Chain A
């Protein structure tokens, strides 16, 4: 599947959003990624957040806080984002396995410092936020109601190479 980095964003203003909230264990009986599609963030309880809402349906970028994706190793978590067209996550930090799973699938788990994230979350108050990502320049641009904010981000050369290769299977198969 070709990845698209950017688009309308949804903001999840809480730390430690875990893999059970992203995709409950009861759906782990599925053996295809596509079957997970209806269940994205189904068990997440957050003020103003509706897992069945239009906003989530339209979202192509998820923005959150610290330790995003903690808990289980289930790759079903990034997969449920992938099959819903969300190929970019932006957060202050990630659980290691979730972060690796996201890059392994050729998707982006971008880390921004708290001050930048605060500015990004402030933009969410101004209206609908659309985000674009320039991977080569390592820049995120967010636009809402005519207001624009730009942020630089760090990404390890390995993670960048995974995204460019389309994922770890592709990278490893070519190299080992």
Chain B
């Protein structure tokens, strides 16, 4: 019997099996941000165990509220900053260099095929796009990860999602994942890895694969995962060229981390996406999904383009192509947050920032920002936001506020009209 990629990664990282079915894995990466890490730091200090297992494998960023907005968030930032300095964690990103965790860490080349990755953040599943096993965990798992470099998981059962056909023009990875979540339901993949396969994935950029894997958790999935291929190698090449003679050699090495043909899956789902339309959520759960067309005309007050789901350069390009030379509706506020400083400067160089500004958008620094209603862009009671983020829970962007999730293209079209709009109908 063959193995899935997740099973192979588990086998290669197995440290202990304290009980049947419980696998304690060695970790290649422990990623940290300023919201969930400070409590772990404080607890380690209180226990007299303020140590780290390997400062080279720990990466940290201040991203959720940055620059700090008040004394409390300033304290969180300071605790992370002081801790990173104290333990010589060199890959620590502070104001001026920081960006959204799930965008900046892959951009720096920290995530490789076959890695095990944890972070105190549910959207850590994003990093599965590289053929890694990456899971969001709580602060206690993070704390043990920091101290011991291990984390416990149940045996990973995998749902294989085959995506076939070819995506129609104007339909993007975000539409694909919203559709898949609509099919799976919010707990359809609980305790499961979602393995994305098929020609649609083969044709996707790493950015698009990250968008896809980012939302695996919204179906309850432990991790979304794509098999490493030449697209993965191309993306990582600037970081790995010293390690391999050629891209082909790198690929041969990384192909260790692909599922066997006779691997066993918990479930296999097939979707032909040749007819897929742009998708938008309604209501307060990410599996409440409809074609944008059916929600067309729904009033919104704010547009948010950014986040770990859709704040990458491709996303900004798609939105800018629609906004170019136009103005957003007078009834809406547009906010765009490039997810990292590199994305920001690339967008600047490409003239994309100017397009957003000319259209009437506010351009913020790289940060999570409005996504979770903790810093800027918070909604007022009864307000509605068209957002490229990943979560539409009641009050997520501010008490009494509502969020419709959609692709950057749909968000840009919606900004122009002031109501939900399928960009293909402009």
Residues of A within 8 A of B (CB): 16, 18, 20-21, 24-26, 28-33, 43, 45, 66-67, 70-75, 78, 93-97, 100-101, 104-105, 156-158, 161, 167-169, 172-173, 175-176
Contacts and interface: CB of A to CB of B under 8 A. Distances in A.
Contacts of B395: 20, 24, 43
Contacts of A18: 393
B396 A97 contact: no
A67 B187 contact: yes
A105 B40 CA distance: 12
A100 B373 CA distance: 26
A20 B396 contact: yes
Given A95-B190, A169-B144, 16 more contacts: A21-B394, A26-B374, A28-B64, A29-B73, A30-B72, A73-B124, A74-B138, A96-B190, A96-B220, A97-B122, A101-B139, A158-B21, A168-B144, A169-B147, A176-B16, A176-B24
A156 B153 CA distance: 12
7 contacts: A26-B373, A28-B374, A31-B42, A93-B190, A167-B140, A168-B141, A176-B24
B191 A96 contact: yes
Interface residues of B, number: 57
A47 to B, nearest CB: 15
B152 A31 contact: no
A107 B137 CA distance: 16
B65 to A, nearest CB: 7
B39 A32 contact: yes
B22 interface: yes
Nearest to A176: B148
A71 B19 contact: no
A175 B150 CA distance: 11
B352 to A, nearest CB: 29
Contacts of B141: 100-101, 104, 168
Interface string B127-161: 00000000011111101100110101010000000
Given A29-B73, A72-B122, A176 B150 contact: yes
Contact of B121 (A32, A73, A93): A73
A67 B73 contact: no
A73 B39 CA distance: 14
A136 B96 CA distance: 54
B176 to A, nearest CB: 21
A70 B217 CA distance: 9
A176 to B, nearest CB: 5
A154 B174 CA distance: 38
Contacts of A168: 140-141, 144, 152
A139 to B, nearest CB: 21
B140 A105 contact: yes
B369 interface: no
A104 B42 contact: no
Contacts of A67: 186-187, 190, 220
B75 to A, nearest CB: 6
Nearest to A75: B138
Contacts of A169: 43, 47, 140, 143-144, 147
A75 B190 contact: no
B27 to A, nearest CB: 12
B76 interface: yes
Contacts of B220: 67, 70, 95-96
B399 interface: yes
B63 to A, nearest CB: 13
B394 A20 contact: yes
B21 A156 contact: yes
Given A25-B373, A101-B138, A161 B186 contact: no
Contacts of A93: 187, 190
Contacts of A20: 393-396
Contacts of A45: 394
Contact of A71 (B64, B120, B391): B391
B90 interface: no
A158 B22 contact: yes
A20 to B, nearest CB: 4
B15 interface: yes
Given A70-B220, A169-B43, A29 B140 contact: no
Given A16-B186, A168-B141, A156 B22 contact: yes
Closest 4 CB pairs of A and B: A101-B138, A75-B138, A104-B140, A158-B22
Nearest to B185: A67
